[in-house]
Amino acid sequence: MHKKAINGVAGAPSAVGPYSQAVRSGQFLFASGQVGLDPATGNLVDGDVKTQARQAMENVGAVLKSQGLGFEHIVKALVFLVDIADFGAFNEVYGSYFKGDPPARSCVAVAALPKNARVEIEVIATYPS
């Protein structure tokens, strides 16, 4: 199966390891996890889980936009939270990005995330037919 690596996305942080920002395979875009990094500085944004979630979602949006997609094209999301007590606050921000039916989603608590982030979000999107 053919795949195309997506890198160098304007408005999204560069990969901090040996991975692509996203990969397109067929009708699907698999976006790597995004934390609340400021794309201009590469530093984690200051603030609580809501602030970091908002920045992570903006980073996801930049990756989607670079491929002609939007949040409405997401079919599956996977969310990692350092503290499951942040679930409600995270949902407030996350839900605001979806105008129609939200995608399928999993949310798990983890011991730690890169750069001491509180949240990481990865998505799978589909291209319109």
Close Cβ partners of 50 (under 8 Å, ≥ 6 residues apart)? 89, 90, 92, 93
Q: Which residues pair with 34 in a beta bridge?
A: 121
DSSP symbol at 93: H
Q: Which residue in 15, 89, 107, 124 is the catalytic one?
A: 107
What is the token pair recorded at 73?
């094209």
Q: How far apart are CA 24 and CA 16, in angstroms?
A: 19
Active site residue 107: yes
What is the token pair recorded at 27?
């009708």
**In this structure, are residues 6 and 23 in contact, taking their beta carbons and an 8 Å threshold?**
yes
| Torsion angle of the four alpha carbons 74, 33, 111, 36, in this order, in degrees rounded to the nearest 10 | -100
Active-site positions read 107
